[in-house]
């Protein structure tokens, strides 16, 4: 299937993200590594009408990023407010010996406000879309985004 990648503002946190638009079907995908939004507009076949679009929205409540000492990065998008039980699990995973705590973080996003719960997000994490048009390693211009580790 053919698609076009657009750099757009995240509809949740307004950070610079990619929208993957499948122009032949009208399907759209957005995943934000800052607030954790996972948006999909998908085309489904129905018996009655033929086809219909359905939107699926998950996340948008923050991210938990673990950078392991061996270089493997594990990202988790938060689908809701963090419960006490989930927080204890995140803390336990964060404190493991194989985790690089300097490059790992847990950030919640509720009612338009980011809150750092664990670790330290990378420089530039809190920049807005227009401010992100810099040579910052975290927020990259479209032409450089795939050439650097985010």
| Residue 32 covered by a domain | yes
52 and 69 together in one domain: no
Helix (H) or strand (E) holding 88: helix 84-94
**Would you state the pLDDT for residue 104?**
96
| Residue 132 covered by a domain | no
Hunting for tokens 């995908």 — which residue is that?
29
Number of domains in the chain: 2
Helix (H) or strand (E) holding 41: strand 38-46
41 and 19 together in one domain: yes
28 and 67 together in one domain: no
When pLDDT is cut at 50, 70 and 90, the band that residue 2 belongs to is confident
Condensed to tens digits (0 to 9), the pLDDT of residues 96-148 reads 999 999 999 999 999 989 999 999 998 878 766 555 444 444 444 444 443 33
Domain coverage including residue 10: 4-58
86-113 burial, b for 16+ CB within 10 Å, e for fewer? eeeebeebbeeeebeeebbbbbbbeeee
Condensed to tens digits (0 to 9), the pLDDT of residues 50-97 reads 888 889 988 899 999 999 999 999 999 999 999 999 999 999 999 999
3-state class of 85 per DSSP?
helix
């Amino acid at each position: 299937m053919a698609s076009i990648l657009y750099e757009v503002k995240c509809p949740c946190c307004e950070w610079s993200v990619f929208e993957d638009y499948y122009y032949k079907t009208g399907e759209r995908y957005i995943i934000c590594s800052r607030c954790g939004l996972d948006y999909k507009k998908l085309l489904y076949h129905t018996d009655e009408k033929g086809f219909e679009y359905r939107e699926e929205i998950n996340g948008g409540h923050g991210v938990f990023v673990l950078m392991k000492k061996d270089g493997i990065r594990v990202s988790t998008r938060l689908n809701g407010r963090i419960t006490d039980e989930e927080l204890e699990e995140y803390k336990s995973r964060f404190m493991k010996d194989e985790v690089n705590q300097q490059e790992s973080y847990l950030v919640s996003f509720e009612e338009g406000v980011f809150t750092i719960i664990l670790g330290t997000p990378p420089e530039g994490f809190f920049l807005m879309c227009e401010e992100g048009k810099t040579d910052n390693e975290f927020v990259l211009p479209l032409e450089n985004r795939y050439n650097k580790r985010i």
